[in-house]
Chain A
């Protein structure tokens, strides 16, 4: 279960969208062992490169490593912090959470919640709004102003823990599970030597609009892109057709956002190699980096593999180790095949 321990480590690091620098070195090191070189661009995308013999073609595999988080947006007269989110967060999950405020030093804080005794009946029925929530650090207003300024980062304080049946629960499994599979892909590719260059890219600012991947794909101009991201796991009462079972393999996306021939190929490979997979039907915008890669420059043929994650964008995101391993296995086999059959695969 090595991939669980890799993911555990990855999930505790913080890299709020736009501020990923703090984690870039860690990822560089993880890629380093299996790459000829590792680069970091000006937007903190980490790019691991396996140089090909001919370097005539390029294959890019991406998974974003940024995470949702918060910024301090105000300090009130009593020293409580107001905050705004970076990326999509449902305020309901914030009540009674522990957070770390990255001020001059890292400070512990809690997001307070009004006790039921004090809730007016009409309040009890209403959903909370982020603007009404405050962070309490237990400090005097003077101390707070000395230690914290507007724009300082706030992250969840979450402790990963293993559930039964090879499942891990933690913050940021969306999409550190994808990053874990990048590391696994590199391992899977060890025995191979390619003509093409392989770029393994941990991208930034996905949660705020696919920024990192837009920049990386423009700069790298790959011939094929493989995007790995999280999809919704099978939680109780999830809408049918929008959630995928944990442990049953990566979801392979089919739809106009993805390249039909490449998608067909990856499904063929899953079948012939006995790798479990699920089908994810996407009628338009997949909401993933594939949406940006497909139309970068003159277009990049793209496939999308998604790892089922339950309770997305909470501190208890949950993932199955097998799905990460199978995603990596499938992506790696696909790279090997696509690399030799590229010409044929890319013509319509």
Chain B
């Protein structure tokens, strides 16, 4: 259907995002396979294309001989209006096929802010918004990703939810869908069969009842096929899953233009605010060897000149020193950059950064203490003392960095004005120590602050969210405190966003099925692209909540603290964490007691490993570092194409 889309493209912004044709993408003939997947990232192409999860599943599914996968992204309002006017439906960018024709529409939700876009996409695709209104001719709508660990707010709009790692479950779903099509099963029977797949939750097979206090009374399966609890999936050996092997390289500009390699999954530092860390346990490391191979392959097939070593805190990989040195040696002088995200606040971070920058320019280094006071850092289990932070930062300034960025959160449980104001004294101290260490006055620090949103499956799932006006007021006071010392304050930058969007994020994070009506109302009033400030309207959300909720309200879902025995909307979805352990950790938080990391201290029984049958996987030490023979000193050729030596024409490498 590209012919019907094409005449619309000259009339929209950045048309290249809709044409597909990325390097390493491909299409299969429609009739060659029984199962057709449309994979969707419900945000703009520039954000969705680099998404690793989607890229991995795209490749995994297309490697199967019985399935094809194509991709679709949210369409900006300018093109959406033209598509409606001309009757052009939501399409995939690979084959430009109508999304409504696929068997499965898999939507990856990294955040809850994609929910309204889901409705736009379904609507443009001609798929009924409500799962209950769909028939056998419509795709099965599947939600996955971190936000899907509480899919209740979108339970009415999706047929299926996949919990946990996706690599294996997409194959299991494919098998069932293939069999169901061959046997001519109807939609209900297909869904019941899918409900038996581990990790798959079919919301339509459960009934939710509410008590007089507004809280959930019970979540009950309505079909014998639906299990009482659904357990997440865990991919165990990352070295068996070296995806993406061939990263998609778009022509359009996107937010991450680099070759990304996930060096481990999971995190057991136990930061209590961090949902990603809690729901992806245990830690599973990719071997340095595996990392080296993926980087090499990925650079070859993409041509990128930047490598991102991804994970929740990459400096924690047991072999990170070896990996960083190996890669820095291997690609020295090729103009290839290395980067890795790190949440550590210690000297090792500086050492590692030194390795990555070698003799290069040292512009900025980032640390995330997250909490302003030592007490608050104990509450959130971010174990770093002020002395340690100052010492680390001083080392950084001493080694040539001129700027540090410090990340904090505001609105954390038990937080007072005083806790936040300590950010100012810490920043002052950083500048003072930095000037001394660097021996010059022009060192800078940037303080970045995000508003805290309590998330499901974390110890803070019971916490009351701090109201936006309280957060905003604290940040105003913080600004004054920073500037109270003119001499230090002028070297400190402060960045924060206003707190209102966080309240909506909180509503969508911890909401139950009643929030579906709020989402639909907000969307009908024009809300979409919630992650983009120019499209976000707090007033629209507040009005939608007021008109659609009965007996409970926005505050009930957000700023209210929950009790120990309240049924939480996601209690029947098992991330592996033991509810009793989470509650104890919440109580420890309130008492400002810390919890160690099970990678370096004994197991503290969070519940994940025994329930999921998993174990911590650390890369075995002592293996040869990287499988890379030292290259002869080549200063300009980043990747030598072996095809150059032979006369055989190389193939384009597209899968067909």
Query: Do A and B form a real pair?
Result: no
Residues of A near any B CB (own CB < 8 A): none
